[in-house]
Chain A
Amino acid sequence: MTINRLFTFLLFVMCQIISAQSDSITSLKEVFVSDKNLKNYSVSQSVLKLNDSVINKNEALLTDLLNFNSTLYFKEYGRGMLSTVSFRGTTSSQTAVIWNGININSQMNGSTDFNTISGSDYNSISVKAGGGSVIYGSGAVGGTVHLNNDLLFFNRFENNLRLDYGSFNTIGINYKTSISNKKWSAQIGLSKNSSTNDYKYLNRYTWRGEQRWNQNGQYDIITLSANAGYKFDENHILKLYSQTSNTDRNTSLVTESETKSKYVNGFNRNLLEYDGTFGKLKTNFKTAYIFENYQYFADNASKYFTYGKTENLITKLDIDYHLFKSTHINGIADYSRTNGYGTSFGSHVREISSAALLIRQNIGADWKNEFGIRKEFTNNYKSPVLFNIGSSYKFNSWYNLKLNISKNFRIPTYNDLYWDQGGNPDLKPESSYQGEIGNVFTFKNLTWTQNFYYMKITDMLQWVPGSDGIWTPQNQDKVNSYGTETLLGWKKSYGKNIFALNATYAYTVSQDEETKNQIFFVPFHKATGAISYSRNKISAYYQILYNGFVYTRADNNPDEIINDYTISNIGIDYDLKFLDSFKIGFQVLNLLNKDYESLENRPMPGRNFNLYLTLKF
């Protein structure tokens, strides 16, 4: 079957689906996740949970999942390359990534590269909009992305295997096994996602007239996860989470004659957690060791590289006391010690301790209040007092109003403080005040969330050239962001036909206070949509993403922009009902062969294909 015919076949199937007016798959509706504080202290904010059925419909790396299913905006240096996020108009280091309750943004550059994380390594991924520094610390300004592994205690032995093979030699092997009984629970996972990534650049030719293609773009990401829990009894549980990953990635070229370089980075994360309940008192003790490193080879062919490493030890004690019938109070103390060393910032130790007090109160079933305050203590920078106040009130069965005000921050990174030359040891953290109003409407099959927010960020860190020509970071800019987010979820079944629709839209204005210019690489508009249908053994889905134009310059020069683009994916899978489940699926990505890029001179691939098998046994 030629591709064109296959295409027609798929379109035909989709027409059937639409005319049958039926169903689906994925529910992106707002639900609570297992992470304790995320569950307990987010009633006044919006949390979008993406479960494994959504994760499975997207490409392996986290950028694609979040790009097509949330309001987050990503800037990618080509497919699979460095990918940085902007949430509510903030910078890449103002979105914190939280792994099982621990902030894992890089100590070196403050941000997370979303193309180094495979979605399938987690049971669920949640996106929480708005400030969260009181609980999650530095970087929880625009919002937080939560990577969660859930340990369940019941008798099971379950294996999940997914194999992908797609265009550009893109290969995915994702395996997860869950073994548990009433006392023990264990999860072991392996993911390997790689690609030669040598896609053609649509409509682009070299000066010699040769077709241009993505050179030196290959990547290989391997992650091993092992999580285990032991339940002494109902009141005492010990959990251990461990994850090791290595991303071996070349960096794609802007021009063919560039020196080919390579960036290898990895991490090792270990978290030991103890939960104990003593009557009205609940304790949660966490201790984590996080190792992170990178090696940059300016020339692939050479043995030389520059590197950076950090080792971070975190201990955290969280005591939850059930004060009255309706009120809980949490006291949290934590201590973090980071030892960082690298070619460009020498060797430095950073110690931070903090204390926080959280109160939550439920007045009846419909009115929930939360309050939090936190202060950090460190020699490295002056730390502001952070707070969070929120309320959620359910007026009736279909309308829930949420209000939240918070102060959040982003601390200077190792690069900011110690970079040789230029690091500035006298920096303050970036800090932000923000307020938001959330409206949640729940009808029979429909959930509609409409958030409005306003955020004021001061002391933004900006690297600027000094009079001596050396670049150095300064606390200089102030940014005001405001906007609205719409999250829609609809699901309905007609007999055996299940039909679902999910959509998000974000309108974001993020202005430099002085110039009134839109912050560059923040789109005013972003929208996503997904329709899915399933009936018995077959399921099909269609995803669409609209990314509005972005300025690429601080002066908002209208000639220097990345054009808006709309891209879509389509997929279908069929369950052969062998073992517990044996699905064979096919996806067409960038269905309409759109020529687009998210960064200048970094073209993304045209139409491409992916074939996959998922087995459950």
Chain B
Amino acid sequence: MKFSKLLLIALSISLFVSCSSDDDDSPKGAYANGFFILNEGSTDAGTVSFSSDDFSIFTKDAYKAENGSDVLGNFVQNIFFDGDRAYIIAGGSNVITVVNRYTFKLIAKIDSGLANPRYGVTKDGKAYVTNANTYSYINPETGDTDDYVAVINLATNTVESKIDLNATANRLILEDGKLYITEPNSSTKLLIVNIATKAVETVEIGLRGDSIEEENGTLFILKAPYTGSGEIVKVKISDKSVSRIPFPESLAGTRGMDIEDNKIYYTAGSAVYAMDINATTPSTTAIVNTPATNIYGFAVENNRIYIADAAFNKDSKAYIYNLSGVLQKELTVGVGANGFYFND
């Protein structure tokens, strides 16, 4: 088929769709050009909320709206994308729900081979998902060493192999064929996994390493201790050298970090701060003091700051600011809002 023909068909379909449906003002589906807010749930199953970028469309429970009574499962932790598909991880139910990222219609579920799945990334038709497996407070013998990366074949939606980590694992990013994994509660190490060879290396960074980002060959890891102030640990990918940006006492209660346009944004208490990516001391001047009492999700994207103020016995709030700290929108989302994911 010629490209022009394909284009014609695509155009006519999009015309048809836009003529026939008032809701779907995007040719791809109702959930394009916006962002998802993950709500992990508490005693009840978790949900996913959606808002369009211009806030004109908001759906509090997108999965229910499109799929009826089926549920995503307990503790909706993470969503990741590949092509037209979105993969929603419900850690407490050992399941990943595969939906069309634009229509949010259910396609399949990956429901075996997972044990407390946490976060996922994709590359070349495969997904790499960290699995916390058992926890040491229940299983003191191997709880801290049995975590693994499940390698999922996205064509068949099945776990095809596992990479044992001999450590604990949580958040991860993928950079040049390697996974970089942190885990705040039990691990003092950054894990580096070569997905081709499945070899695992470690770099000592200390306890409480959580949010992780890569920029210009350097990893930025936010350490958020329970008490006192945190720090940003920088790991140069080329030589694995470690440097640190300690936070002063005034920045106690560090929680989230995101890097956007050469600036590192981070939260401490209920405030948001930013520092230059090359700075060696953190800014202690808040961009905005939010009304949030429990910042549980944080992102900076397209010149906006996204804050999730999680509540577990009622709906959570999401606050969206511009980079000057002016509130753009307040959204009422589901129980236990824990993250923002952008669907362009």
Contact = CB atoms under 8 A, between A and B. Distances in A.
A257 B138 CA distance: 20
Interface string A304-328: 1110000000000000000000000
Interface stretch (B66-74, B120-128, B283-291): B66-74
Contacts of A554: 311, 313-314
A302 B133 CA distance: 12
Given A254-B71, A469-B226, A298 B134 contact: yes
Interface string A443-454: 000000000000
Interface residues of B, number: 46
A254 B315 contact: no
Contacts of A560: 315
B294 A258 contact: no
Given A257-B93, A257-B112, A553-B335, A600 B43 contact: yes
A467 B270 CA distance: 8
A553 B74 contact: no
A511 to B, nearest CB: 15
Contacts of A465: 293-294, 296, 310, 312
Contacts of A555: 314-315
B187 interface: no
Interface in B82-112: 90, 92-95, 106, 108-109, 111-112
A378 interface: no
B52 to A, nearest CB: 20
A426 to B, nearest CB: 17
B255 interface: yes
A206 B109 CA distance: 10
A207 interface: yes
B224 to A, nearest CB: 8
Contacts of B138: 298-299, 304-306
A255 B74 contact: yes
A258 B253 contact: no
A207 B313 contact: no
Listed residue (A306, A467, A554, A557) with the most chain B CB atoms within 10 angstroms of its CB: A467
B134 A304 contact: yes
B142 to A, nearest CB: 9
B227 interface: yes
Interface string A249-291: 0000011111100000000000000000000000000000000
A553 B313 contact: yes
A445 to B, nearest CB: 45
A469 B138 CA distance: 21
Contacts of B94: 257-259
B272 to A, nearest CB: 15
Contacts of B111: 256-257
A474 to B, nearest CB: 12
Nearest to B73: A255
A204 B69 CA distance: 8
Nearest to B141: A304
Interface in B168-201: none
B71 A255 contact: yes
Contacts, number: 95
Given A254-B45, A601-B44, A207 B70 contact: yes
A559 to B, nearest CB: 8
Nearest to B270: A467
A255 B313 contact: no
A552 B47 CA distance: 15
Contacts of B116: 259
A57 B94 CA distance: 41
Given A207-B106, A557-B315, A306 B44 contact: no
Interface in A505-557: 520, 552-555, 557
Nearest to B112: A257
B73 A259 contact: no
A259 B114 CA distance: 10
A468 interface: yes
B269 interface: yes
Interface in B280-311: 293-294, 296, 310-311
Interface in A558-579: 559-560
Given A467-B253, A467-B269, A258 B314 contact: no
Nearest to B93: A255
A599 interface: yes
A600 B139 contact: no
Given A257-B93, A599-B44, 6 more contacts: A254-B45, A255-B93, A258-B93, A298-B135, A468-B227, A553-B335
14 contacts: A254-B45, A255-B71, A255-B73, A255-B93, A298-B134, A304-B134, A465-B296, A469-B224, A469-B296, A520-B314, A559-B60, A599-B43, A600-B43, A601-B71
Interface of A: 204, 206-207, 254-259, 298-299, 302, 304-306, 343-344, 421, 465, 467-470, 520, 552-555, 557, 559-560, 599-601
